[in-house]
Amino acid sequence: MILKEITNNVRIKEGYAAIEKYCLLLLCYPNCSVKFLSNQLSLPIPLISAIKNECKKRGLIETNKGISLTKNGEKIIREELGLENLIIERYLEMLDTTKTNQLLLKIPVLHDIFQNRPSADVTLDQSKCEINTALKRVIFMLENEFLLNKKIACIGDDDLISVMFCFILKYIFGGKKHYCYITVFDKDIRIIDYIRKIVDQYCLSITCIVHCLENTIDAKYLAQFDCFTSDPPYTLAGLELFLSRGIELLKRERLLSIFLSYARKTITDLYAIQTYFLRSGLLIHAIERNFNRYEGAQILGGVSDYYHLLTTDKASSSMIGEYHELLYTRQQNPKIRRYRCKSCKKIYKIGENKTYKTIEVLKNQGCPICGKEKFILLKQKER
């Protein structure tokens, strides 16, 4: 492959991924300058010039008015990067965050899909992100990493990032073939069944695996993925376990991306988190504060941060084997809440070891006395 040859000749530390991004920029922005490419790729100008010279030797580019692909160069690059069907105008439109609402209007089915997803299971620290947040995450991922022909893992996916990602791919590839494949690992069978239903209905490139992350992952999935995304439990143990499993899924390469949504924490917890990143061989590339918005989510205050992490040569899992400790918030900090039926006034205790673990379960089943579904949380002094 020509682009592999260029990578080897330039001997770029950032590897083949940098060449992929370089070529994608040339596809999107004809007649661009060396300085523009340097700024976009965060690479020194001499290195950009070296890549340019290697491309020019092979007839991929011309430099009459800035750097542009030749017709043959565009053909070769599209073929080698699996972008034969990529519609550049739609791709650039997708990257324009000012047009988020317009983009959702062009894919109206997404509103129904997100509206009808399973209710959040708070015992698993689930909080459903808003549809605009799901789209923003996908845009951020595509903007910051070349993921158009990669294997992506979703470590838990109650936010349906896999579904959003695939619908965006269908849009920017005009519904034609692409080479990006997503695998979802989730213990919640409701989520898995719902995604599988959507996959079958809309022919999406998603594989769903029912898996409890407290258990080790089947060896056939290890070291197979180019990237993973996760919105783990809000406990430090949950963060460490989900990231550990994700690192095991990644290929043994440096500078692979991890996209992590995580609740805002105290300074003490943030220090522990960043210490864990360092210990696990992960680099914080970017932090977007208050990036994620959730429906309800009282624990999160309705928002959480978005981390873009990169693997280093020392990236490794810190949790090997089975996990048997308390993992979720309600396990580590069990609380008993009392709710009164608004109709018959019957009072119910809600908690981890009670008949109803969450108020959502009670609402779904209805009051056993009168069958109504509206309940009032009693204040502390009323309990």
Residue predicted with more confidence, 234 or 152: 152
CA distance 94 to 88: 10
Which CATH architecture fits 2-81? Orthogonal Bundle (1.10)
269-310 per-position pLDDT tens digit: 899 999 999 999 999 999 999 999 998 655 556 899 999 999
Tokens of 103: 């983009």
Evaluate if residue 217 carries a pLDDT over 70.
yes
Q: Is 260 helix (H, G, I), strand (E, B) or coil?
A: strand
Question: Is 383's pLDDT higher than 50?
Answer: no
Q: Hey, where are the domains in the chain? A: 2-81, 88-311, 335-382
In the block, tokens 């043959």 appear at 72
Residue 356: per-residue pLDDT: 84
**Residue with the larger pLDDT of the pair 147 and 99:** 147
Q: For residue 89, what are the CA distances in angstroms to 104, 134, 167, 172?
A: 16, 22, 16, 8
| Among the listed residues 125, 316, 313, 138, the one whose alpha carbon sits nearest the alpha carbon of residue 233 | 125
Count Cβ neighbours within 10 Å for each residue of 116-141 and write b for 16 or more, e otherwise.
Answer: ebbebbbbbbbbbbbbebbbbbbbbb
Percent of the chain with pLDDT over 70: 95
Nearest to 239 by CA among 208, 204, 264, 210: 264
Q: Which helix (H) or strand (E) holds 48?
A: helix 45-57
The 10s digit of each residue's pLDDT in 186-195 is 999 999 999 9
The CATH label, of 3.40.190.10, 3.40.50.150, 3.30.365.10, 1.10.1740.10, for the domain at 88-311 is 3.40.50.150
- Asked if 2-81 and 88-311 have one fold, the answer is no
